[in-house]
Structure 1
């Protein structure tokens, strides 16, 4: 690379241009998404250490992470239990133990009595009072040598990359790009910076990598610092722009045009065993309008539990079939896929359409037959789980993809299905459905690439579910109520939840509950469904429940989505305090599907925390999923509501959804301004914050 390029744009240099970064370190840094000098500048601190003052030993408290200085009194190796070396240091106010588990003889010899040590680490309770385990330590001549005038940044790491390697590399990057004339480009318009009183990019980065002496770690982590706010704003903006770019890119493709003949549509609607609500008709009209365009539809349909999203998808499917195209419908669980399969098979029974089913469980000849029907076009609709992504699945002419509960699928999976639909320069229309109402602020961030429709009306005759909050001490009363309920020819669910993520433990809990209830209620026919059962077993139990051959269904949260049994009007949820409000609302939505009164009993373990009481009270008072989602957001924060651990989830470098959610409101108008007046800033902003994961936005 020529010197002139280096001088004009040092931020574009590869990290190997820096002193101390060889090819091995560069390969490790790539795991952190760091390829260039600019990537180092935007690899921002997670938190800060305060080494600006030495704390007297007598003032130490458990949980503090701090700097101490003392003279070694003795060093001893302990052989009982896990071998360790303990060193005791003292200052004028008291003594402190240091404990090391990984230790060399040479280190033991360094820590001779009389040596002055500076130590930095976390204070904990040990065998002999307070101690530091594996502190960073330094032998010094005087305490002043330890003090640093500013906070020390702590960066996100990966295996083989230490804090010191990163700090040295970032220091060089800062010197190259922020302290020279060839400053890094600031892509935020000057007017925006003035409007929100944000500092320049150079100042903001300098502040966070090298905080000035007057800043404390608490001030920075609190989120009110203008330097931090400015960078969070820019990161949110980059994600929003990436989604909008993805939408534009997707919309620039050609898609098949569907025209639905009114006679065909009316005949289909008249055959349905229920009447469509006004909200369903409105959403169907929005979908029809999208599918008449030669660009692909990208629409999210949000509707509360039981609002009738599936039949809306069926009408979209009818449009595709009518135009000679195939439809793929993907559900997150086999149980839900099976239910969609039964519904679609019934609704399309009078048409010439072949509806097929494809999951990982389908094997051998049956699988080959299904794959053949998709490849040659004899099958019009395929319903399945993520098995639809597999390489062996080919479509003759895919025109519409319907994804149910899309937040349960990773981005890679959704991409794979969309790629399958490309043929003859056309891309399929996409319809995404969710029964998890998404609060408006989160929808702006996560779904700004989608047009959103809301089914905000329940079918006529649906009665709200009466919800009661009951302590588990009254468990026997609740069990007695089941007997009375079943005597009236009604059915019930008993849902077992466990705090452990382990599916095995959840299934064991459900099995034990089913055994206990079978002993206690000899006249009640009890079925059991959990995640470790084979699909055929689950299906048989669900079918028996649907056919009224079973009175009480004991289940784990696998029944959260999509099981429809109108005669089941009682639901008991154990340990509801362990689930999120939206998930509880989803479970409750399994009852109240007929025209009789329905009940949901939340059987909690006492004592309930204040937050637990608040959450269960919200559920008791409201049956509106959107109200519940907004309250859930207030109580649990965005990270938990969005399920930040999910695959395909947005990962932020510096933004924190909990702390910074107030900035989300400002993003759509800023994005619009940049699109209209500064389009050249879009790609650099996306590249700077999101880098190489750009194409995900098109999903």
Structure 2
């Protein structure tokens, strides 16, 4: 029975009628538990059953919807215990074979004489074939829902048929769409666009008159999702700010001014703007929650260092969290060089090295008390662990935020009394992700590189060019430069042409003799990694052979060559990060990408790398190619779960939603 106290669309799905216990359980797997969940469950695509494609016109590679009658079908047994179910359909113009591998049970669902609607990709021309298409048998009754119209097609789960789900959603839309509360409709009055009401949008998105109406309805529902998302962010921030008072890190410039004077270079305009944002946050009434993003080599670390010095001069200690020991070591070296002349002690706290040589929390705290100024502690996940403690934390800096889980970040913040938090990203974030995944953070962007840098030129080459490439690298080493050589793997896994550093070391040493080649990868002991990095830093090692472990945390201005083999095995962001290891000095640099037998997607990725060096543009392209889930990692990214909103395509809608909420949101 419906609960009269509930909003109509918040009623449990069982109140709709005709949905048994077993189907309720199956729909629960799709996240459908209420009438509202059903209304917000968007189609994955549409089929125009007014105008199906003709089979005779199909060609290999076409994606099409066809309607016809099954003329034959059955299961074929194949050696090795495999099977294939196949039926042949005829639409009066030609025949189409539809087949499914190792799914013999489908023989129960499709019979000779059935009229079927099939959607899929033509995999073979002779005979004309689709492998694993979607297929739906036409049944009597409810033709107005399933035939002679633009028909929605939904994602399914085992035990739920397309036809049944479509009819159930039709019923829900028919009874409940008019009862949807359109609470933000007044926000859209006077807007320069045309917007359907929510009631009209639900009807139009599920059972549109045409594809254009479906697109307009989807945009309205996507906008509503983005509005609701930003309202939740506002609610959360308002609650946070009503309960938490900021630690006073306004400082007095007694350390910041000498720090900036000692750098030996001026901050760029973009760095100065970012520092102004951060310094205002540190002096503000609420704890800072800010994202600092910029391209590779744009100078994010020095801006974060300014924030650390401001916290220390205000009487607070600082923790600086890095995702890898190599990056933590890099930050430790750089910050020590900058801070110790100011009397600020920098400590390193990683799994393999703790500069205090003491794991006991109480003794650790006693050590801190002895310092004349509060310390800065740089570390990896080790500083998130319970046994690490530090008194009076005023600022937490998190480098490469996406590498850490949500709970790890919370644990770090809980080590202090709501310290200020500055998050940095290794490469620029696509615009839509910056406004959604990081939507609860204020954002500062460093969009210019420091002056005096040499240009970086990128080349894509086939393996047969390698003899010339080795000679080119030797020539540059003789000029006094250094080089990185990167392979995808540590050891050969017997998978053909994918190279590994351990197996290629002798070849590289032979090709670049007499120059010294160092080796670094994730399986080396920490002291072995440190020895290789330090040798490269001092110039004793001329060439560093590595996996992608050096994509962050190595800053050596004299290194001007990056050779990456099997380059098509890396993502765009990773390639750009690796390329960012060079071009940090005044000499011109060269990134050489070697690839063979490239897929179409890999070729497109390398072409973009060759033509574009702008990390912001590459971030947008990477999002298009990989999608937000793969780009950020679904388990730790905090990607919002939108039913109709699209984080790749809906940049304008996301901007509009944010502006509407900023303008209209009230407590």
Match of 2:103 in 1: 102
Asked if structure 1 preserves the Cα contact closer than 8 Å seen for 2:42 and 2:154, the reply is yes
Match of 1:251 in 2: 241
Residues 329 and 23 (structure 1 numbering): CA distance in 2 closer, same or farther, change over 3 Å? Answer: farther
Match of 1:299 in 2: 290
Distance 1:452 1:343 in 2: 25
Shift of 1:185: 3.1
Q: Any residues of structure 2 matched to 1:82-101 within 5 Å, and which?
A: 82-88=82-88, 92-99=92-99, 101=102
Q: Any residues of structure 2 matched to 1:664-679 within 5 Å, and which?
A: 664-675=654-665, 679=666
Asked if structure 1 preserves the Cα contact closer than 8 Å seen for 2:70 and 2:116, the reply is no
Shift of 1:371: 8.3
Distance 1:505 1:272 in 2: 49
Q: Does 1:44 align with 2:42?
A: yes
Asked if structure 2 preserves the Cα contact closer than 8 Å seen for 1:258 and 1:292, the reply is yes
2:639 aligned to which of 627, 640, 649: 649
Match of 2:501 in 1: 510
Residues 389 and 153 (structure 1 numbering): CA distance in 2 closer, same or farther, change over 3 Å? Answer: farther
Shift of 1:347: 3.1
Task: Say which structure, 1 or 2, has more relative contact order (CA 8 Å, 6+ apart).
Answer: 1
1:118 aligned to which of 86, 91, 115: 115
Match of 2:461 in 1: 471
2:5 alignment partner, SS class: helix
Asked if structure 2 preserves the Cα contact closer than 8 Å seen for 1:250 and 1:296, the reply is no
Match of 1:408 in 2: 403
Q: Any residues of structure 2 matched to 1:287-436 within 5 Å, and which?
A: 287-350=278-341, 354-361=345-352, 368-369=359-360, 373=364, 380-421=375-416, 423=417, 427-436=418-427
Distance 1:575 1:220 in 2: 46
Q: Any residues of structure 2 matched to 1:135-174 within 5 Å, and which?
A: 136=135, 138=137, 148-157=147-156, 163=162, 166-174=165-173
Shift of 1:563: 0.8
1:178 alignment partner, SS class: helix
| Between 49-58 and 585-594, the greater mean CA deviation after superposition | 49-58
Shift of 1:78: 3.5
Asked if structure 2 preserves the Cα contact closer than 8 Å seen for 1:632 and 1:641, the reply is no
Distance 1:454 1:404 in 2: 15
| Between 21-30 and 521-530, the greater mean CA deviation after superposition | 21-30
Shift of 1:89: 5.2
1:218-266 CA-to-partner distances (Å, cap 9, x unmatched) read: x478xxx321221222223333333344444443321210242333334
Distance 1:507 1:125 in 2: 29
Shift of 1:300: 2.3
Asked if structure 1 preserves the Cα contact closer than 8 Å seen for 2:459 and 2:591, the reply is yes
Shift of 1:336: 0.8
Asked if structure 2 preserves the Cα contact closer than 8 Å seen for 1:638 and 1:657, the reply is no
Distance 1:671 1:370 in 2: 45
Asked if structure 1 preserves the Cα contact closer than 8 Å seen for 2:42 and 2:206, the reply is yes
Shift of 1:200: 0.9
Distance 1:590 1:644 in 2: 21
| Between 118-127 and 44-53, the greater mean CA deviation after superposition | 118-127
Residues 20 and 586 (structure 1 numbering): CA distance in 2 closer, same or farther, change over 3 Å? Answer: same
Shift of 1:157: 4.2
Distance 1:162 1:327 in 2: 57
Residues 294 and 199 (structure 1 numbering): CA distance in 2 closer, same or farther, change over 3 Å? Answer: closer
Shift of 1:663: 3.0
Residues 281 and 232 (structure 1 numbering): CA distance in 2 closer, same or farther, change over 3 Å? Answer: closer
Q: Any residues of structure 2 matched to 1:176-187 within 5 Å, and which?
A: 176-179=175-178, 182-187=179-184
Asked if structure 2 preserves the Cα contact closer than 8 Å seen for 1:437 and 1:629, the reply is yes
Match of 1:683 in 2: none
1:589 aligned to which of 557, 580, 589: 580
Match of 1:696 in 2: none
Match of 1:496 in 2: 487
1:417-469 CA-to-partner distances (Å, cap 9, x unmatched) read: 33443x3xxx1101122342346565444544333334455455x32224152
2:216 aligned to which of 212, 226, 240: 226
Shift of 1:551: 0.7
1:329 alignment partner, SS class: strand
Q: Any residues of structure 2 matched to 1:235-246 within 5 Å, and which?
A: 235-246=225-236
Residues 274 and 632 (structure 1 numbering): CA distance in 2 closer, same or farther, change over 3 Å? Answer: closer
Shift of 1:202: 0.6
Shift of 1:72: 3.6
Match of 1:618 in 2: 611
Match of 1:202 in 2: 199
1:629 aligned to which of 616, 619, 625: 616
Distance 1:607 1:199 in 2: 49
Distance 1:147 1:441 in 2: 36
1:663 aligned to which of 620, 629, 653: 653
| Between 401-410 and 52-61, the greater mean CA deviation after superposition | 52-61
Shift of 1:400: 0.9
Distance 1:333 1:61 in 2: 50
Asked if structure 1 preserves the Cα contact closer than 8 Å seen for 2:117 and 2:138, the reply is no
1:19 aligned to which of 10, 17, 20: 17
Distance 2:66 2:569 in 1: 39
Q: CA RMSD in A?
A: 4.2
Residues 543 and 28 (structure 1 numbering): CA distance in 2 closer, same or farther, change over 3 Å? Answer: farther
Residues 105 and 348 (structure 1 numbering): CA distance in 2 closer, same or farther, change over 3 Å? Answer: closer
Distance 2:536 2:236 in 1: 44
Asked if structure 2 preserves the Cα contact closer than 8 Å seen for 1:97 and 1:130, the reply is yes
Q: Any residues of structure 2 matched to 1:574-585 within 5 Å, and which?
A: 574=565, 583-585=574-576
**Gaps in structure 2 of 5+ consecutive residues:** none
**Gaps in structure 1 of 5+ consecutive residues:** 681-699
